Structure 1
């Protein structure tokens, strides 16, 4: 099941012959159908943009009785912003973590204390840099994917020739460091989820630090998108209900724009200027994604039907103590035992 987020990412029907349309109640009114090939081996649908649409559409799909997802591999395949210290326009990132960076406290940057570097800090804490507070965990802040499956996906992309354009190359040349000024490639990088379409090195640095906090200093903020944590929460709930296997999920994002301006330019420039990364980012969804889809199918009987075992100590929600839900329940029990009874 290939998951797209908006219309321009839905480029799979002709190459993969997805000519069978299945209407599913509860999908986005703009994208009410799942598109499948003739024998139901490959399907694709569009969630709609941002967290609310993604959560609603993914839930509707997973609860539909028209499909059996118990052995299905899901690949989220869409465009994203890119951290120039991790990748460049057109690059393809395969993620281990998705972090809901904007689920936080915020104080306008013009009014923060003089010794603070950002107006974002974790809920239930006192200042930027404080570790997560178990009492204020929502359970959607971070999701960890199966890195052994990610490695398999990466192997399928070896040798692909990614799309690039003269305009994207000209824009990336404005950066005086790598990998920003290098040609696109397939790499490992984590995704920050935020409904706010942000730009600027200060915000990017703040969200990079939040990514480190939620991943015990193992995640690297490389890409930014709107939907992934919302889709993953629906998937985790479906996994726990026996409807799907969350260890069979791949997150692939392609870079359409830098999350900050080139050196010596105002950060507003990142919004105002056409960076040229949109066309290659769309093209590279298919260029990198199709070999992954075909590789899983070609090796189904020998390897993928039984599933790819995840890494040691893997959990759906991964922070420094691994399972957010368990931490929240423990904190709730502590509060309940200390509340006076009258």
Structure 2
């Protein structure tokens, strides 16, 4: 045996003990040869006002940060979203692959995963949302052209989430629908739901992170959605709930990044004002028993039960088992009801 063969054999055995295999590069597809591990963004042209407004020294952002810093520490003592989690590039290219939405990193985040997800959604798209909702690369968004349709994770996830809510609650038939999005980020789902559902009266976006409130204010204005959306700073959330009957609260990949105390703060608030339905999509913190875990590893499900919410439905993100295995960022969707 040559030294090269011997070395390869030893290395192969060693790597197997670490869960790795050696595979000749000529057996890999292009999308398998590269992996993205760091945040990034597509270098798209920014609107002129974005360059001037989306800055760390913007007076509105500074004002929000000061007001948030005085709020209940239970909610603003962040485990993940600490200072620096959103940097100056993220501020302007907030739709890139960053803390808000991973697009090139994570499970199946490659062109094949995007293609499979797109064709899956085409198969269930009875309201034609893939045609109705348009996509662009504004603010650093990564886009892919599949079957002559420009798509992104922003678009695909949003359409799938809308269909889940439609299947479970027939939201398109609810007159004057009012939605509360807890941890709304830059306003991704607000943008899509308002354009998809003309029956939405108001989509309320709120977030315990000041910079997210700042960005979503700008983004929903940019999309010209102010008539049907309101960005609610943290200190105005309770008054908003007191004065408006919310039909459903959403939490998309947010509670998983919170402490259990912060999760309970939000749950106690929506229970107090009798929000009937709560949809949760967990992040990676789901253990082998299927428990939704907070970032500090507490069972979110127990907290949900504590405030009177009962599991109504839990379904895989993709109903097709193959797509659930290989589609982008597979997870489960949960819907709770309070009686």
User: Which of structures 1 and 2 has the larger relative contact order (alpha carbons within 8 angstroms, sep 6+)?
Assistant: 1
TM-score with structure 1 setting the length: 0.24
Larger Rg: 2
